[in-house]
A and B are shown apart, each in its own frame.
Chain A
Amino acid sequence: MVPPQYYLVLSAAIFCIGIFGLLTRRNALLFLMSVELMLNAANINLVAFSYYWGNVTGQTFGLFVLALAAAEVAVGIGIILTLYRNFDDVDVMNATTMRW
């Protein structure tokens, strides 16, 4: 059996790739993909430790996370579509009508 720490390293690496993408990409769609990576990093942990602890709580919650990620993307794509219609672009840095 692979020691559980290895899964933690894997998921942490994927999570960090997600954070990196989120901080460096200006395209709203790539931003969504980065968030998706971070959520799936959480899923790796949930499934791996569900096996480690011998209960299915983690796997079940993993399914909920998947469903919610899909719902979030649905709302997000809608907002990005209206962003494109109003600003002719999906660059998150362009929408700056408000400044403090």
Chain B
Amino acid sequence: MTPLQTAPEWTAAAPAIILAVTGLALLLIDTIDPDTSSNGLLAGLSTLGSLAAGGVAGWFLTQGTGMESSGGAITLYGDALVIDGMSLFFTLIFTSVAAMVSVASYDYLAGRRYQGEFYSLVMFAATGMTLMAMSNSLATVFVSLELASLPSYALVAFLKKNRGSIEAGLKYFLIGALSSAVFAFGISLVYAVTGTLLLPEIAANLSVSSDLVGVLGLGVLMIAGGFAFKTASVPFHFWAPEAYEGAPAPVSAFLSSASKAAGFAVAFRVFTVAFPLGPVTSLNGGGVDWSLLFAVLAVVTMTLGNFAAATQENVKRMLAYSSIGHAGYALIGLAAITTDGGAANGHVLGASMAHLLVYGFMNTGAFLFIAMVEKWGLGRTFADYNGIASKAPIAATAMTVFMFSLAGLPPFGGFLSKYFLFLSAIESGFWWLAAVGAVNSALSLFYYSRVVKAMWIEEPSEPLEIGSQPVGLYVAVIFAAVGTVLLLPGFRPVIETAQTVAAALF
């Protein structure tokens, strides 16, 4: 018996508990001494909390907590939470993004008010995301989704006197409130048909004959709509460009990486566990072929995201649309699941999870580079980026790594994750999804390379003035760049872990 197997069961939720306690501690420090609490202490504490939660999740993952090797998934609180390999894998994504964002916020928040609130909101949102990945009941899915969303609304509107930030917060909030209402109604319809909210029991009760089976299909569609909002996929993607552009850049980084991954975590679990493809499609009169639905959404999402990104002049907005495009790639994980897929289902879902991990590093890094440019007071368009490399070569090199990795060029992590994603889609028989993805990746190279060209080749129209060298932002950006590069040689353990834990869902 290892020490982990003798520990009480509730300790399996330690990553979420650590994040929540960190958030509360930040609030406490800020309450005791609101005027003089130091930015460094707050940033350090929230970074430490995220790293500790991530470290525990990584330790659990290597020890096999909640996996086949040590007795299967651990369920807590009347099966409402489940800790298995998948929830721990996603926890790693959320906590690493939260750590990078906390470090970067140290510089971004310098001289601003309400620092304690900012860090604690980030921690509470991260808690919500971790709980989303652990949810095993539609009730906890809804509550944790709101726990992740409500702090995010406040964070987007954090710059109270900046019109762009308020507008972004308003739009994010309005569409978020709408989609959570649709989501709640979908849950109530599923409950009406199955009489339970626990995911495995929903699957078991699907076959119970009922007069209301047509209602179930509608409920499943509405739940899919809720996930489309959280992952910024078509048709609920409208908020994303506005929210990412207007929000403080570290918040954009947090939302577009961690929040999107959280949406996928919960969508993967709900659709594979509660609505397994075979029984759901074969219901008389109420069947929904959600794999086909997600295939259509994946194609539309990646095409729309990439084409819209190609037309942008504003770098932050370009990244926002590219993040919609990447939601389309990750959707392949759900779209390529087939009734008789067997091992191929686990492969494609795992590849999608591994892509989200790599995306967590490269996309967070790209948005944090934008935060650095905002800190320097340069403009937001491509032309304003002209010649940055001559003044800040290290940061520009990191940004180049992120851009080429996002585009999926070979020497970086983004290449392998996309390669495995498309390969496993072909393995499942969805060669056309892989083809659309590959064409879109090629197109994306156009707008990603524009940033690189502006930074390294173009001459600035007027001499660049770069004031300070923000230490925290540099640390976070370089950490993200090193992560992106190291994920190339280190991709084998990542993809193997992801595919193993994904296979456990089927």
Residues of A within 8 A of B (CB): 4-5, 8, 11, 15, 18, 22, 28, 31-32, 35, 38-39, 41-43, 45-46, 48-49, 52-53, 55, 57-58, 60-61, 64-65, 68, 71-72, 75-76, 78-80, 82-83, 85-87, 92, 95-98, 100
Query: Could you mark each residue 82-124 of chain B with 1 if its beta carbon is under 8 Å from any beta carbon of chain A, else 0?
Result: 0000000000000000000000000000000000000000000
Cβ proximity bits B163-181 to A, threshold 8 Å, 1 near / 0 not: 1101111110110011011
- Is B338 at the interface (CB under 8 A from chain A)? no
User: Is B174 touching A38 in the complex (CB atoms < 8 A)?
Assistant: no
Residues of B contacting A85 in the complex (Cβ-Cβ under 8 angstroms): 160
11 contacts between A and B (CB under 8 A): A11-B185, A42-B188, A58-B191, A58-B197, A71-B146, A76-B153, A76-B173, A79-B173, A82-B166, A87-B163, A87-B166
Is there a chain A Cβ closer than 8 Å to B255's Cβ?
no
Expressed in whole angstroms, the Cα–Cα distance for A95 and B181 within the complex equals 23
Counting residue pairs across A and B whose Cβ atoms lie within 8 Å, the total is 139
Q: Which residues of B contact A68 (CB under 8 A)?
A: 142-143, 146, 180
Residues of B within 8 A of A58 (CB): 188, 191, 197
Contacts of B184 in A (CB 8 A): 38-39, 42, 65
> Which residues of B are found within 8 Å of A86, using beta-carbon distances?
161, 163, 166
With A45-B192, A57-B196, A64-B143 given, name 19 new contacts (CB 8 A): A8-B192, A11-B188, A18-B181, A32-B177, A38-B185, A45-B188, A46-B188, A48-B192, A55-B196, A57-B195, A75-B150, A78-B154, A82-B157, A92-B174, A95-B171, A96-B167, A97-B164, A97-B167, A100-B311
> How big is chain B's contact interface, by range?
35 or more
Q: Which single residue of chain B is at the shortest CB-CB distance from A14?
A: B185
Partner of B163, one of A28, A42, A97: A97
Q: How many angstroms between the C-alpha atoms of A32 and B196 in the bound complex?
A: 29
Would you give the shortest CB distance from A89 to chain B, in whole angstroms?
A: 11
Which residues of the partner chain B approach A49 to less than 8 Å between Cβ atoms?
Answer: 188, 191-192, 195
A83–B153 Cα gap in the complex (Å)?
13
Interchain CA distance A65-B163 in the complex, whole Å? 31
**What are the interface flags for B1-32 relative to A under an 8 Å C-beta threshold, 1 for contact and 0 otherwise?**
00000000000000000000000000000000
Majority-rule SS of A interface residues: helix
In the complex the two chains form, what is the Cα distance from A78 to B166 in whole Å?
Answer: 10
CB-CB nearest in chain B for A62? B188
Which residues in B have some Cβ–Cβ distance to A below 8 Å? 138-139, 142-143, 146, 150, 153-154, 157, 160-161, 163-164, 166-171, 173-174, 177-178, 180-182, 184-185, 187-189, 191-192, 195-197, 211-212, 215, 241-242, 245-246, 308, 311-312, 317
Most buried by B among A61, A80, A96: A61
Find out whether the CB atom of B185 lies under 8 angstroms from the CB atom of A55: no
Cβ-closest 6 pairs across A and B:
A45-B188, A53-B195, A38-B181, A95-B167, A42-B188, A42-B184
Q: How far is the CA of A16 from the CA of B180 in the complex (A)?
A: 15
When C-beta atoms are compared, the residue in chain A nearest to B140 turns out to be A64
